[in-house]
Amino acid sequence: MENFLTPVLALIGWTLIMWAWMYYKRIPAMMAITKNTQDFIDNPALYEKMPRKAVWSADNYNHLHEQPVIFYALMFYIFLTGQADGLYMYLAWGYVAIRVVHSFVQSTVNKVIPRFSLFVIGSAILIIMTVRAALGLL
Res 72: pLDDT: 98
21-51: string of b/e by CB count within 10 Å (b at 16+)? bbeebbeebbeebeeeeeebeeeeeeeeebe
- Residue 79's contacts (CB-CB under 8 Å, 6 or more residues apart) are 1, 4, 5
pLDDT of residue 37: 86
Q: What CATH number does the domain containing 78 carry?
A: 1.20.120
**Residue 99 in contact with residue 64, Cβ under 8 Å?**
yes
What is the reported pLDDT for 88? 98
Residue 124 inside a domain? The answer is: yes
1 located within any domain: no
DSSP state of 49: G
Distance of alpha carbon 43 from its chain centroid, rounded? 29
The answer to the question of residue 51 being in a domain is: yes
- Structural domain count of the chain: 1
Report, in this order, helix, strand and coil percent for the chain, each rounded to 5.
80, 0, 20
The upper half-sphere exposure of residue 122, i.e. CA atoms within 13 Å in the direction of its Cβ, equals 24
Domain of 53, in residue numbers:
6-135
**Mean pLDDT for back-to-back runs of 10 residues, the chain (138 residues):** 94 98 95 92 93 95 97 98 97 98 97 98 98 95
Q: What is the pLDDT of residue 130?
A: 98
pTM (2 d.p.): 0.94
